[in-house]
Amino acid sequence: MTAPLKIAVAGLGTVGAGTLKLLRANADAIATKCGRAIVVSAVSARDRKKDRGVDLSSVAWFDDPVVMATQSDADVIVELIGGAEGHARRVVEAALSQKRHVVTANKALLAHHGVTLAVQAEKLGVSLAYEAAVAGGIPIIKALREGFAGNVIQRVYGILNGTCNYILTTMRATGRDFGDVLSEAQKLGYAEADPAFDIDGVDAAHKLAILASVAFGTEVDFKNVHVEGIRRISALDMTYAEQLGFRLKLIGLAMRDNGGIAQRVYPCMIAPDSPLAAVEGVFNAVVTEGDFMGRSVLEGRGAGAGPTASAVVADLVDIASGRHVPTFGVPVAGLTKLPSIPVAERVGAYYVRLVVVDRPGVFADVAAAFRDEAVSMESVLQRGRDDKANVNVVIITHETKEAALVRALKKLEANAAVVEMPHMIRIERFPAP
């Protein structure tokens, strides 16, 4: 057996500690699979005294992770600090500059700086691996770069954020509203104290930008991901979705479209028999559609110590075994830059909920606003009248261009009889299994 692969771990939070535990618990099996041992030779974290449930007495400690990246004896630097800037970025850049392989779980770093870092890694002949950055324990990066390499990928989409999926699942199951369920998710540890990155869709958008790059062979283009979160989803929307035969999910979707790439993260209504409808709680799932392979669905836990550590170690096994592929599936020079298709160009069906004053002539105003923009209504529901004589009107449209619907809703927003801002949710028609 050849010399051990030495690694240094920057960041000993949930994932960092989980990675050390996995490497020790399964050391023999891992060594057998890659022909050499993988050993932790150095670590760095903010609090040296904190009990992480793993013995660090034989491991070199560095207070500064950047110093560790340049001065430790490690072959691989594992960056588990997080964030697009600061220590995380400096650690990765320093490690690459020393011709050390890098394994990271940092989707923000890759979404913002992935191409630049890939250029550096490629130039120096080292790996920049990041299976753990997208969908936790689901091996979607390996699947796209290797398993599906013979295909032209047309579309990749999925549930990419477990926090949002837990909130929406619980809202549907209990009838409770968003704020109440978010508070519960925070108490259970499924949502951060500041949950904005999750519930506003940014976390999912980081992951989608990476997936799109690997799937389509394009440069990472986070700035052109259309991002919407779930703050405006109400228990009432959940009720209507069920009545109309839909499930509400936060979906990340990237696809080729008219010579460009569409990248979108938003809550949408999907059919109960679509491949993502049954993905509940904190689970993630990614669907890939290729020209020869057809459709593949991968589902699993998208976060947590065990699943994410599993993905980190999978990258380490590849490096220890001498397996190397370009960071985004093709050499950096081969990455293309395709035009971004704005969400205003989307053509599809929509759910629209209006709160209007219940009086004669109001619905005629609604119909006129839709008519003037050539938006056709498939069905209309009117439910409930409150003590202020306001009612909810729910409209399902036929397929229409989003820009036209937005113009119609702007007109209605200016109508005095529409007492709340119109609420629109897209309907995605994913094929059944």
Active site residues: 207
Strand residues in 5-132 grouped as ranges (E): 5-10, 38-44, 60-62, 76-79, 101-104, 128-129
* 147 Cα distance to chain centroid: 21
Q: How far apart are CA 226 and CA 262, in angstroms?
A: 9
Sequence-distant (6+) residues with CB within 8 A of 299 are 138, 279, 283, 284, 285, 286
Burial of 8 (0-12, 13-18, 19+ CB in 10 A): buried
Instruction: Give the separation between CA 242 and CA 389, rounded to whole angstroms.
Output: 25
196 C-beta neighbours (distance < 10 Å), count: 12
Q: Which residue type, as a one-letter code, is found at position 264?
A: R
Q: How far is CA 237 from CA 168, 307, 383, 425, in A?
A: 11, 32, 12, 9
| 8 A C-beta contact, residue 310 and residue 290 | no
Alpha-carbon distance of 156 to 142, in angstroms, equals: 14
362-372 and 402-413 helices cross at what angle (nearest 10)? 150
Which sign does the torsion angle of CA 314, 315, 321, 326 carry?
Answer: positive
